[in-house]
Amino acid sequence: MFKSKWVIPATLSAALVVSAVPATALQAEAKVPTVKKVDVANTLKATSNYYYSLPDVSTPTYQSSDAVLNFARSNYAVSKDYYTTFYKDVERELKKQKGQFNGSPGALSKIILAITAIGKDPKNVAGYNLINLLGDKLVAGKAAKSLYITDYLYVLRALEAKDYSFPAGEKYADFSRKSMVDYLVSTQFENGGFSWAEDVENGVSVDMAAMVLSALANYDSDPAVKASIRKGLDYMSSQLTDVAGYSPWGGNSVDSQAQVVIALTENGINPKTARSFIKNGHWAVSNMLLNFDATTGGFKTTPDQKKPQLFATTSAMLGLVAYDRYASDKNTFFDLADAKASSLKYDTTAPKSLSVTKVANTTKTISGTTEPYATVTIYNGSKKLTTVQADAKGKFSYPVKTAFKANATVKFYVTDLAGNKSKAITQKVADRLTPATPKVSKLVKGAKKVTGSTTKGATVYAKIGSKTYKATASTKTGSFSIKVPTLKEKTKVKVYAKKSNYTSKSVTVTVKSK
């Protein structure tokens, strides 16, 4: 275990000097290798849409602190009652457990972070003080020897979020911020890594190192803490693969990388310019995108997975939000001093965007585009046909099971991810089966043909008196020519067309003298 003095290597020191600059100091990028360009804004938007579309995320409970924190810190527009639903469920659970919470201090710390992020006061939730409850959990956890490194680091994050404190007195003396910081530093292993428990060396991982370093970020004025952070950075850098990633299970881990992005940005280091964290043009965010599923907007645990996974997407979104906030020169992800209810964004506007194919009585598939992951409800008159969900690009389709009748009314309603429903968008079913009413050329006395045009390939009929004559219209031009007996002046000729059991309107033409 790390006990001895450690001196930062010159190479890493130089790299950190370049890296630890404000995100606005773009001139620093000229001093580092060219890195791959990434579209952080659009990737984050696509990931947020996918994440919000997931059932486990769209309806929050008191256990949804990760999602709530991600959306609040990214300023993603959620439904008007999203955060309220989360908060009310926290209150409900507190009342149910009579002021307690099952789970670890780390889990409660996440709830405190989420509550703070939405502008609520964790010191008064349904009449209960969650900060004091957190302190009590720590005391009980220490007595039961059930505390882990993650508990300490998340408790520090929760207390730092808005400068919360445990009550003064001996009860919480072992859990002053200094005591917890000193404890975390003391658990660092000689290689610079951290484990989930102080005496479990085979638990050392990049994930744990990154999480501890982010929790220590606000205490680097202490020389021992500063040295510990530098050694931890060196450890994380040494674990990089050729694509600037991490492979704890043999694949590129977006979960590990997201924690590294958090650690770097919380410590004021730009992942895009930190030379020690760049490999072959890859850097932290470009490496994360190796696991990005462009079809859905989600993230896979490893690049070769076929489908995105909830935990990987949660982690990836955290990393993207952290970098986006850093690059935008905002408070870091876990610095919630700027968090307030009035800053949260809500989507209260009904969808207006819908582009859909023209519906006809020949239509086999209805398709179109709308907002990403919105649901489209289709009616045939007053009968509901289906509800389909658009994909990440807003595309949707519905295979028609029963042909529409000509001139029927088809209605579309669009409901976005926030639950806003559009007004009905209607279409009249086009008739593409009934042949066009024939256009008949002038008929004159002595003619022996009835000519004109209609739908290509239709059978055209000319009725004179009680007798009917027919011909097939050209399949290329729709023109027709029907042989009839020599026409007499003032004779009335009724002409109509048929195709596939559909009959056109008829037209009656009177034979002229010339």
How many Å apart are CA 81 and CA 126, to the nearest integer?
Answer: 18
In sequence order, what are the residues at sequence separation of 6 or more whose Cβ sits closer than 8 angstroms to the Cβ of residue 54? 310, 313
Sheet holding 355-356, edge to edge: 355-356, 365-369, 395-399
Residues 156-165 pLDDT 10s? 999 999 999 9
Structure tokens belonging to residue 399: 């295979």
Confidence at 18, pLDDT banded by 50, 70, 90? very low
Whether 267 has a pLDDT exceeding 90, the answer reads yes
pLDDT tens profile 442-460: 999 999 999 999 999 999 9
Q: How does the average pLDDT of the chain come out, rounded? A: 92
Name which of 11-20, 156-165, 284-293, 450-459 the model is least confident about: 11-20
- Which tokens is 330 given? 């905002």
Number of H helices, E strands in the chain: 14, 15
27 confidence band (pLDDT: 50, 70, 90) = very low
Mean pLDDT of the region 28-37: 70
Category of 381 on φ-ψ map: left (φ > 0), alpha (ψ -120 to 50) or beta: left
Give phi and psi for 29, each to the nearest 5: -65, -25
| First-residue to last-residue Cα distance in the chain | 113
Residue 10 has pLDDT above 60, yes or no: no
Q: So what's the pLDDT on residue 32?
A: 63
Cβ atoms < 10 Å from Cβ of 164 = 17
2: left (phi over 0), alpha (psi -120 to 50) or beta: beta
Q: Give the count of beta carbons closer than 10 Å to the beta carbon of residue 4.
A: 6
Mean predicted confidence (pLDDT) in 303-307: 93
**Can you tell me the distance from the alpha carbon of 341 to that of 117, in angstroms, rounded to the nearest whole number?**
8
Indicate whether 3 pLDDT > 80.
Answer: no
Q: For residue range 172-222, list pLDDT tens digits in order.
A: 999 999 999 999 999 999 999 999 999 899 999 999 999 999 999 999 999
Task: Give CA–CA dist 355/367, Å, rounded.
Answer: 9
User: Mind listing the domains of the chain with CATH numbers?
Assistant: 10-340 (1.50.10.20), 355-428 (2.60.40.10), 439-510 (2.60.40)
Residue-level pLDDT at 8: 36
Task: Pull the structure tokens for residue 323.
Answer: 């970098």
Return the pLDDT at 17. 38
For residue 232, the Cα-to-chain-centroid distance in whole angstroms is 32
Cα–Cα distance between 104 and 113 in angstroms, integer? 14
